[in-house]
A and B are shown apart, each in its own frame.
Chain A
Amino acid sequence: MWKYLPEDRRGEYAATDDEAKRWVDSASRGQTSDARRPPELSTRDNVSRAIYTEVREGRGTPHGGVFLDISYLPAEHVRRKLPSMYDQFKELADVDITKGPMEVGPTTHYVMGGVRVDAETGASTVPGLFAAGEVAGGMHGANRLGGNSLSDLLVFGARTGAGAAAHAAKHAAQSYVDPVQVADAARELAAPLERETGEDPYALQRDLQEVMQRLVGIYRVEADLNEAIDEIGKIRARLPRLAVRGGRVYNPGWNLAFEVRNLLIVSEGITRSALQRTESRGAHSRLDFPETDQKGWGGRNGVVRRREDGSMDVTTTKLPTMPDELGSLLGGGAH
């Protein structure tokens, strides 16, 4: 019945609705029973898919989510363990999560993918450009687990800082910057401020959000992804008509005119990568390829590159070999 459970953890959870209900009933009375708990505390990709399915099949809450209930735990325990959540629900929604259920729904999880970096130094493939944190790719595989982004930041933030410092020390001289390229970039950035009329960047952002939400969401399918690539192209075609009012000081509309170009690139990269990967793995779920295809896709990473003509090239590369010291930590299971 719990179709979203990872196979190896199935034994930890209730096998039937009835068993789950018995567990909840006794837990709410503060008693123990031989029933196993329902599988609420799974990885985020599982929980998101489960919520999405419940809502789509008509079992959602009034606001289009599901109920999460931790009120069976002692109130003091909830307030101590989840102080921010307790405060936020209380202050923003008048909901006391120690007394009753809260409504929850999936949002963006994490960008599992990003700038390709060297693990030791954080160096990207562009000399002098370094990346760490969510913008850097590869750290979390297909599904970041809760708590891991903080460790990522601490470890790879330190490595990348040291890497960038070492690079700077070796390249003391001021690099040559092509003044023509700088002038072109400045002109392009300033253009929306100079146009009298045109498209509002907020309108482009809204349209892009709608496309990505509707077509490249939790569940993906080939036809939707192709449609999304078309739609993204149509929005990109409106970029040269962007116009913003106001000056250069703290102007969010002007800032968005710049950001929306980046949003389009990232959205296209996500969509083309999702289309390329004909399997389901971690947070990437294809309705038309619901299984994880270890033989076809295990050991292959997607790569997004800019071609000479500015278009996007999406291909794959072999997963790097796991270093011996890491493999030995994981029980010699390097592959």
Chain B
Amino acid sequence: MSQVHLKVFRGEPGEAPRYDEFDVPVEEGMVVLDALHWIQGNAAPDLAVRWNCKAAKCGSCSGEVNGRPRLMCKTRLSDFAPGEPITVEPMRAFPLVRDLVSDVSWNYEVNKSIQAFTPPANKPQSEWRWQQEDIERVQEYRKCIECFLCQDVCHVLRNHETDTPFMGPRFLVRTAGLEMHPIDAADRRGYLKDVGGIGYCNITKCCTEVCPEHIKITDNAIIPLKERVADEFYDPIQWAWRKLRGKPAAGAAGTPLPMLAGASMSAQPMSPPEPALPAPPARTAPEVKRPRRRSDAGDETASEG
């Protein structure tokens, strides 16, 4: 029987991290999660790994395999060259709980801040009508299994490089599904700009690349939302038109999101040291608040054509 060699991240916050190494017997069709289960059952019963369905539908077993964010239940051992060691680590954008488990609860806080589906108050459900193509469009966003791999890979979240919060790709996907729902009557553009920090995304498309559900996150969710925000807040003609009509720009943004806490650095030796951020400008002067890498939403949409 052939074997694979696994290097598995172990440790708790405040503890010296280490990589434990295991030789795991391989059977046809095995995935990384199977190898971790073998380790739990035969070598390290206290190895912490979060998992549930083993069918790439629950989004629990997210981690980093040889540095790449992946679902461990969907990563085949046969994808690695024979003899190549496989390094398994937790998602490094989030605080460490223990071993391969990270604390993703920040995401649930962000989720709560998004205004839920809001049908028009004066139209009973029996009168809702929408087209098949609208159903198919929003269906793509609903494929999300909340594995948070897109949040993990996103450099804005991973490097903790902003001084105001960024909701991250997963929640831009959810918002896109609501904003493009033909029955939904809410307007989340002010929220996206001021609370969600949509301008922080500079469309590197890493999120799309790691999505196990193959959602075209950047092209189909983030860019259309950026266009809507840019139209509302950065289009000079719209601005002049609103002035003439005396109508303000899209509504109240809501309360600020919590910042994502970093992973415990002592337990994350492979992360580069965090560069010192300049002191955040005062909250009363939003027009000078331009943290690194933040690009103007209007410029981006223009460059995308």
Contact = CB atoms under 8 A, between A and B. Distances in A.
Given A250-B101, A253-B40, A92 B46 contact: no
Contacts of B31: 92
Interface in B22-46: 29, 31, 40-42, 45-46
Given A252-B45, A253-B45, A84 B57 contact: yes
Nearest to A245: B46
Interface of B is mostly: loop
B105 to A, nearest CB: 14
Given A88-B56, A91-B74, A202-B40, A251 B48 contact: yes
A228 interface: no
Interface string B49-72: 100000111000000000000000
Contacts of B49: 252
Interface string B87-121: 00000000001110100000000000000000000
A290 to B, nearest CB: 34
Which of A206, A244, A247, A253 is most buried by chain B, counting CB atoms within 10 A of its CB?
A: A253
A93 interface: yes
A166 B266 CA distance: 48
Interface string B70-92: 00001010000000000000000
B222 to A, nearest CB: 23
A252 B61 CA distance: 14
Which of B12, B45, B101 is most buried by chain A, counting CB atoms within 10 A of its CB?
A: B45
B47 interface: yes
Contacts of B55: 84, 88
Contact of A244 (B41, B42, B45, B98): B45
Contact of A250 (B29, B45, B97): B97
B45 A92 contact: no
Contacts of A251: 46, 48
Given A88-B56, A245-B46, A252 B40 contact: yes
A113 interface: no
A123 B178 CA distance: 36
Contacts of A206: 41
Which of A84, A92, A93, A245 is most buried by chain B, counting CB atoms within 10 A of its CB?
A: A92
Interface of A is mostly: helix
Given A88-B55, A201-B45, A206-B41, A249 B29 contact: no
Interface in A77-115: 84, 87-88, 91-93
A23 interface: no
A93 B99 CA distance: 29
B107 to A, nearest CB: 18
B12 A92 contact: no
Contact of B12 (A245, A249, A254, A256): A249
Contacts of A244: 45-46
A141 interface: no
A240 interface: no
A119 B74 CA distance: 40
Interface in A216-258: 244-247, 249-254, 256
A279 interface: no
A250 B41 contact: no
A200 interface: yes
A243 to B, nearest CB: 10
A251 B40 CA distance: 10
A253 B29 contact: no
Contacts of A88: 55-56
B74 A256 contact: no
Nearest to B143: A83
Nearest to A251: B46
Which of A91, A250, A256 is most buried by chain B, counting CB atoms within 10 A of its CB?
A: A250
Contact of B29 (A84, A93, A201, A256): A93
B8 to A, nearest CB: 13
B14 to A, nearest CB: 11
A311 B49 CA distance: 35
Contacts of A92: 29, 31, 74, 76
A245 B97 CA distance: 18
A250 B74 contact: no
Interface of B: 12, 29, 31, 40-42, 45-49, 55-57, 74, 76, 97-99, 101
| 8 closest A-B pairs by CB | A246-B46, A253-B45, A250-B48, A202-B41, A250-B98, A251-B46, A253-B46, A249-B98
